[in-house]
């Protein structure tokens, strides 16, 4: 029995000497815990930097599109989001629909969707602008061939929490060109919309109230990247302080 106790004490003494000789062994488990967290923080920061470059390029493309003459929309083209183009065709006012809900001032309204029929191309849904649900003034309905300048809005799919479309009433809350086109009885519909831009000389109170500028998406990604990289730096600082104290502790 004494021999077993002596062997155990000898083993403990060898372990203590090993920790004293190689104190970094005490940091193996904390390091294994810290490294995945650090990798996640650095990965999130890098992802936000990639988003920053993408968003900056997108904003530059919007600025360039607004300052340059818009090209004609080709029949088989699928332009990028926010691209500024001109589409030519004839409005089918008999198949108008309303999209979404928006309050302006104290008036509830929606966006007026009208199919633009184009020769040799699918019908193009045009968001002509906001109109009040209860109208005290008439809405313009241009006839014949028209040329509409606007920017591209890609299609969407309804989420689980999206409001249900009123097919019979032609009221839609998700811009899904295929669903809307089928509901309106269109044989084929482009997979995107053209959001009309108001002419420079358009009356301020004209209906529909078309968009005046191409919207700019927010670009907060630099702040997000700094936050994630800052958390990674803080983690390294905390771990360095912990490691220094841990290495200074005497072996148990």
pLDDT in tens, 141-189: 999 999 999 999 999 887 878 788 888 899 999 999 999 999 999 999 9
* Averaged pLDDT score across all residues of the chain: 86
Calculate the CA dihedral of residues 197, 202, 204, 208 and round it to 10 degrees.
Answer: -50
- Which tokens belong to 109? 């309204």
pLDDT in tens, 106-146: 899 999 999 999 988 999 999 999 999 987 788 889 999 99
Angle between helices 221-248 and 28-67 (to 10 degrees): 170
pLDDT in tens, 17-65: 544 556 667 788 888 989 999 999 999 999 999 999 999 988 888 888 7
pLDDT in tens, 62-104: 888 788 888 999 888 888 888 899 999 999 999 999 999 999 8
Inter-residue contact 196 to 149 (CB < 8 Å) = yes
Q: Break the chain into its structural domains and give their ranges.
A: 13-69+216-252, 83-136+143-196
pTM for this model (two decimals):
0.72
pLDDT in tens, 181-190: 999 999 999 9
């Amino acid at each position: 029995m004494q021999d077993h106790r002596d062997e155990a004490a000898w083993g403990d003494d060898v372990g203590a000497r090993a920790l004293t000789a190689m104190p970094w062994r005490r940091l193996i488990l904390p390091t294994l815990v810290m490294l995945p967290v650090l990798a996640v923080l650095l990965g999130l920061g890098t992802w936000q930097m990639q988003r920053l470059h993408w968003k900056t390029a997108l904003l530059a493309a919007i600025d360039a599109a607004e300052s340059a003459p818009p090209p004609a929309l080709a029949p088989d083209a699928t332009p990028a989001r926010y691209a500024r183009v001109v589409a030519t065709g004839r409005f089918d006012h008999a198949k108008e629909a309303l999209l979404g809900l928006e309050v302006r001032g104290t008036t509830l309204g929606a966006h007026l969707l009208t199919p633009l029929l184009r020769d040799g191309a699918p019908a193009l849904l045009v968001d002509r602008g906001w109109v009040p649900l209860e109208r005290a003034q008439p809405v313009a309905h241009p006839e014949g061939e028209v040329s509409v300048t606007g920017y591209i809005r890609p299609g969407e799919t309804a989420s689980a929490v999206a409001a249900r479309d009123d097919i019979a009433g032609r009221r839609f809350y998700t811009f899904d060109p295929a669903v809307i086109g089928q509901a309106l009885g269109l044989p084929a519909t482009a997979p995107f919309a053209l959001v009309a831009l108001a002419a420079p000389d358009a009356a301020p109170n004209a209906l529909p109230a078309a968009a005046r500028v191409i919207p700019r998406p927010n670009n907060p990604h630099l702040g997000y990247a700094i936050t994630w990289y800052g958390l990674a730096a803080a983690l390294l600082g905390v771990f360095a302080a912990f490691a220094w104290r841990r290495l200074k502790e005497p072996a148990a």
